[in-house]
Amino acid sequence: MFTSRSIRLINLPRRISSSTPLEVKWKFHPGPRLGIQSRNMATNGVQTNGVNGTSIKHDFSTLKVNQSRLLDAIHTGCKFGADHRYGDHPTETGMARLSLNDADKQVRDWFTATAKALNCVVTVDQMGNQFAVRAGKNASAPPIMMGSHLDTQPTGGRYDGILGVNSGLEVLKVLHENNWDTEGSVGVVNWTNEEGARFPMMAVSSGVWADVVPLETAWNLAEVSPGEDGQHKTMKQELERIGYLGPQPASYKAFPMAAHFEVHIEQGPILETEKRRVGVVKGVQAFKWFEITVKGRDSHAGTTPFSARMDSMLCAAKLIVESNAIAKRHNGLSTTGILTGQPGSVNTMAHTVTFTLDIRHTADDKLAEIEKECRVHFARIAEKECEKGCTVAWKELVDSPAVNFHADCIAAVEASTKEVCQALPSTSDDGQLWKYMISGAGHDSCYTNRRCPTSMIFTQTKDGISHNPQEYCSPEDCAIGAQVLLGAVLRYDKLRAERGDFS
């Protein structure tokens, strides 16, 4: 028997307090289901209820996330690093929790305490990655991990990364309160410096874990902006300062994973525009980050005629415009997020300008074409179109090829998504509440996919806004993402047992 549960669904304000009681309607329909044994389960799938002695048919589809508890956890953690207030409600702030700052230490301590209260074993590796594992019946096998990050942009929001970590913790809470024995172990990972906002290499710590980024390279990354003492601290210095330079080697060999699942806000407008609730993510587009250095000559703005100038700022501006045109021709993307000039005087031309270049495309070969054309045209513009000319140097910061997620993980996410969505009211024109998607942004899942089966789950993002204090995902959509995660993880756990992973 499958129980159809109808729970009151109240009208939700756009902004909502973590203390406001919320419940989402989950209605499960009869049909094929994958099950998993729990503690105290008798034979033939019948479990005895210790309170009244009644027997019930066991099926993990009856497990539900607690929406109000999930929101409370999100907003409790967001007390550490809250900034950029835009409204009167206590939760109407953005976040400024850059990796390894004091607020990041506080939320890390909170993560550890939360996980240990669920009887998880928490370990920390040499990059500060936190792994919280709840033991399964086959505790010696690598765990299924649910992962994302708790660091934010300088003007970030409350959901990017944060929703993923808290969704994982909510799954563990559901398993814990139901005394649920998974076949293998299940856990949550908080990856360090996913944003790359303070230390300029995104997802650097999952990259070290995947044996793609050398440990010393990551440790020696210097922060983008200097501290109050004027010094640029390195990742290793800050890991030591906040007490999160862990003893465990930062390697997939030291901490292997059976699979990695990540819930994330879409960070774009597609799901909301199409009135769908879930994105089943099949992969991630390719992207590269570069630091471009343009050198010219500093000279007086009033006494130097155009014909005698080596204006590095003018050159950089032309290069940025050209990169945009090249990316458009190839249906890709190009972005410059940081631009600095020296010496920084109003009436003096800059002798050196540095800027970042982020180029993206869904196909590796097209991304390579964008890069090749940028290099050719940058050299031409610097030499021929900047009066006496400038020089251009490239430094590659990140190279993330296009990612195709694992078919088994995608299938687990899709099956869970279909079950969750069939209980929701129809909103889209075609009646389909989910869709396959390719992520436009990079994630830690790009690196985990190199070492273990991986997939992702997208939830709606209001107005497609992310990396912004007003980034928002509704309480119901947060719960939908966590519910899909719960079903996907337990399906994959069941699959492991069926194919003999534990024998």
Distance CA 414, CA 408 (A): 10
How confident is the model at residue 347, as a pLDDT? 97
Q: What are phi and psi of 289, to 5 degrees?
A: -115, 140
How confident is the model at residue 231, as a pLDDT? 92
Highest-pLDDT range among 49-53, 198-202, 256-260: 256-260
> Which burial class, exposed, middle or buried, applies to 21 when counting CB atoms under 10 A from its CB (0-12, 13-18, 19+)?
exposed
294 lies in the same domain as 271: no
Does position 472 have pLDDT exceeding 70, yes or no? yes
279 lies in the same domain as 164: yes
Low-confidence winner among 48-52, 240-244, 316-320, 384-388 (lowest mean pLDDT): 48-52
- For residue 334, list its beta bridge partners: 359
- For residue 265, list its beta bridge partners: 459
332 lies in the same domain as 472: no
How confident is the model at residue 59, as a pLDDT? 78
How confident is the model at residue 263, as a pLDDT? 98
How confident is the model at residue 190, as a pLDDT? 98
To which residue do tokens 């020696």 refer? 220
294 in helix, strand or coil?
strand
Binning pLDDT at 50, 70 and 90, where does residue 19 land?
very low
Residue where one domain finishes, among candidates 343, 375, 395? 395
236: in domain = yes
224 lies in the same domain as 332: no
Does position 53 have pLDDT exceeding 50, yes or no? no
The alpha carbon of 152 is separated from its chain's Cα centroid by a whole number of angstroms, namely 10
Q: Please calculate the CA angle 80-81-82 and round it to the nearest 5 degrees.
A: 100
41: in domain = no
435, containing H or E segment: strand 434-439
Decide: 57 and 45 in contact? Cβ < 8 Å.
yes
Distance CA 468, CA 70 (A): 21
How confident is the model at residue 3, as a pLDDT? 34
Distance CA 24, CA 245 (A): 40
16: in domain = no
204-226 pLDDT, tens digit each: 999 999 999 999 999 999 999 98
Residue where one domain finishes, among candidates 395, 426, 461? 395
Nearest to 68 by CA among 482, 479, 480: 479
Binning pLDDT at 50, 70 and 90, where does residue 13 land?
very low
Across 239-261, average pLDDT:
98
79: in domain = yes
Binning pLDDT at 50, 70 and 90, where does residue 399 land?
confident
42: in domain = no
How confident is the model at residue 99, as a pLDDT? 98
Across 475-490, average pLDDT:
98
DSSP of 215-267: HHHHHTPBPSS--TTS---BHHHHHHHHT---SB-SSTTTS--SEEEEEEE-S
Residues 6+ apart with CB under 8 A from 180: 36, 38, 39, 60, 63, 174
Task: Tell me the CB-side half-sphere exposure of residue 478, using CA atoms within 13 A.
Answer: 33
419 lies in the same domain as 337: no
350-366 pLDDT, tens digit each: 999 999 999 999 999 99
Q: Please calculate the CA angle 488-491-494 and round it to the nearest 5 degrees.
A: 150
Decide: 297 and 376 in contact? Cβ < 8 Å.
no
**Domain membership of residue 430 as a residue range:** 62-285+403-499
Q: How many CB atoms lie within 10 A of CB 336?
A: 17
Distance CA 149, CA 169 (A): 12
Binning pLDDT at 50, 70 and 90, where does residue 46 land?
very low
Mean pLDDT of the chain: 89
More confident residue, 440 or 95: 95
280 lies in the same domain as 293: no
48: in domain = no
72-118 pLDDT, tens digit each: 999 999 999 999 999 999 999 999 999 999 999 999 999 999 999 99
Does position 23 have pLDDT exceeding 70, yes or no? no
310 lies in the same domain as 235: no
How confident is the model at residue 12, as a pLDDT? 34
238-247 pLDDT, tens digit each: 999 999 999 9
Q: Are strands 403-404 and 278-284 parallel, antiparallel or unpaired?
A: antiparallel
319: in domain = yes
Across 1-29, average pLDDT:
34
CA distances from 59 to 45, 281, 361, 424, 495 (A): 8, 26, 42, 20, 15
Does position 9 have pLDDT exceeding 60, yes or no? no
Binning pLDDT at 50, 70 and 90, where does residue 293 land?
very high
What pTM did the predictor assign? 0.79
How confident is the model at residue 49, as a pLDDT? 30
How confident is the model at residue 30, as a pLDDT? 29
357: in domain = yes
CA dihedral 170, 172, 174, 179 (to 10 degrees): -170
> Which burial class, exposed, middle or buried, applies to 272 when counting CB atoms under 10 A from its CB (0-12, 13-18, 19+)?
middle
To which residue do tokens 């005087």 refer? 345
Q: Are strands 121-124 and 130-134 parallel, antiparallel or unpaired?
A: antiparallel
pLDDT above 90 coverage of the chain, percent: 84
Type of residue numbered 35: G
How confident is the model at residue 233, as a pLDDT? 97
More confident residue, 429 or 102: 102
Binning pLDDT at 50, 70 and 90, where does residue 189 land?
very high
How confident is the model at residue 428, as a pLDDT? 92
Highest-pLDDT range among 15-29, 47-61, 185-199: 185-199
- For residue 262, list its beta bridge partners: 456
Nearest to 327 by CA among 282, 284, 377: 377
79 lies in the same domain as 130: yes
Residue where one domain finishes, among candidates 369, 395, 421? 395
337 lies in the same domain as 278: no
Does position 48 have pLDDT exceeding 80, yes or no? no
101 lies in the same domain as 222: yes
Nearest to 37 by CA among 51, 55, 57, 18: 57
Domains identified in the chain, total number: 2
378 lies in the same domain as 431: no
Across 326-331, average pLDDT:
98
322 in helix, strand or coil?
helix
Secondary structure (H, E, C), 160-188: CCHHHHHHHHHHHHHHHHCCCCCCECEEE
80 lies in the same domain as 225: yes
Decide: 366 and 337 in contact? Cβ < 8 Å.
no
How confident is the model at residue 45, as a pLDDT? 30
Distance CA 299, CA 282 (A): 52
Across 159-180, average pLDDT:
98
